[in-house]
Amino acid sequence: MREIRAAEAQATFDELLGSVAEGESIAITRRGKTVALLTPPRDDELTQRRSAVARFQDRRRGWRKIGMSTDEILKARHEGHRF
């Protein structure tokens, strides 16, 4: 992890963001102590979402077919309604 002083970070912020976008983590220091970390976003959330969608699709494949067209479903839904 690269360390950079806060004053230098202010002057080169765009460059730092480019480095972080490429996967580098950067510690910003003030008086020799780390005060902030610039890190790329974690892929955990994206991985979890994709996994949830895949699980849903797997379950959906097991649903039984009802043998009705979309028009028949809509007609049945509106049966008994007054217009």
Query: Across the 83 residues of the chain, what is the mean pLDDT of every consecutive 10-residue run?
Result: 95 94 94 94 81 94 88 86 67
In the block, residue with structure tokens 């959906």: 60
**pLDDT recorded at residue 83:** 59
Q: With contact defined as beta carbons under 8 Å apart, do 30 and 5 qualify?
A: yes
- Sorted by where each begins, the domain ranges of the chain are 2-38
**pLDDT recorded at residue 80:** 76
**pLDDT recorded at residue 40:** 87
Q: pTM value?
A: 0.52
CATH class of 2-38: alpha beta
- In sequence order, the 6+-apart residues with CB closer than 8 A to the CB of 36 are 27, 28
